Amino acid sequence: MRVFWQIGGVLVVSILIGLFLVTRSASPLVKYETRATSSAASAAIAAGSPTSTIPSETYRVMKVVDGDTLVIDMNGVGTTLRLIGLDTPETVDPRKPVQCFGKAASDKAKELLTGKRVSIEKDMSQGEVDKYGRLLAYIYLPDGRLFNRYMIAEGYGHEYTYRLPYKYQKEFKAAEARARSEKKGLWADSACATQSARTVSAASPSMTNVPSGSPASAKASSGNYDCSHNVYNCPSFKTQAEAQKVFDACGLPGQGGDSNDVHKLDSDKDGRVCESLP
């Protein structure tokens, strides 16, 4: 009987030692896997991938209008999408000239989207459609990247808030800040060097296009800004103060800048323009 208990004791001690050794050897693996997962998540975010689950249903892109607008096939019907949180320079609006870096943004969108199948995500904080009847959405590329964010992160457009905050607002603003600091795309020093709007020259020749005698002409003449049509957008300025100066200059006398926001700089109508600029 004594021998039996001695053998049993040895077995119990052996099992406990074995479990201890297994636990110690597994811990570094668990820690490594955790670090690897965290690193992969960080890389995915940096590359423009979403932080939420990608919708499984996909739609064929029928047409890319410009950098922030496209048409997809939804059940056999062409549906126009306006991308949430992203604004790229104009290229197709007949009322406006082609804006700085607009063609580059449009070309990149066509490269990534034409003929592809994309997933869409809606955001009820922004409503279903905009005032033009376009479906408001985020779109995901076949490789999982969030296209809206990618365009901002690579300097093809800037973050855009229309009245209310949206789901990815914080991420998009951070992406723009990084693109600006790294001088990517339209934020590069030489990107808009040929356009006076980049520095808002105090002697802009485009003021000759402002109808003489108009209130906008009288108000803008002191700063020589073009207030006759949409010439500038937020990326045209280096600071919020510069954008605000143009906004205020183009306002009708005694009525403030929002009385003639021809450049659409005040998206949320609070009187303070281009709030993402430093």
pLDDT tens over the chain, length 278 residues: 555 555 556 565 566 666 665 555 544 433 333 343 344 444 444 445 555 688 889 999 999 999 999 999 999 999 999 999 999 987 666 666 667 788 888 999 999 999 999 999 999 999 999 999 999 999 999 999 999 999 999 999 999 999 899 999 999 999 999 999 999 998 988 877 644 333 333 333 333 333 333 333 333 334 566 675 566 777 777 788 888 888 877 765 545 545 567 667 776 667 787 877 77
Q: Answer yes or no: are the C-beta atoms of 120 and 85 closer than 8 Å.
A: no
Residue 130's CATH number: 2.40.50.90
Cα–Cα distance, 235 to 243 (Å, whole number) = 9
Active site residues: 82, 90, 134
62 with 128, same domain? yes
H helices then E strands: how many in the chain? 6, 7
Q: Answer yes or no: are the C-beta atoms of 230 and 264 closer than 8 Å.
A: yes
Structurally, the chain folds into a number of domains equal to 2
Q: Which has the closest alpha carbon to 111: 73, 154, 76, 82? A: 154
Residue at which a domain ends, from 141, 170, 187:
187
175 with 66, same domain? yes
Cα–Cα distance, 112 to 172 (Å, whole number) = 19
Residue 50 zone, left/alpha/beta (φ > 0; ψ -120 to 50; rest): beta
205 with 132, same domain? no
Domain that holds residue 206: 196-260
90 with 201, same domain? no
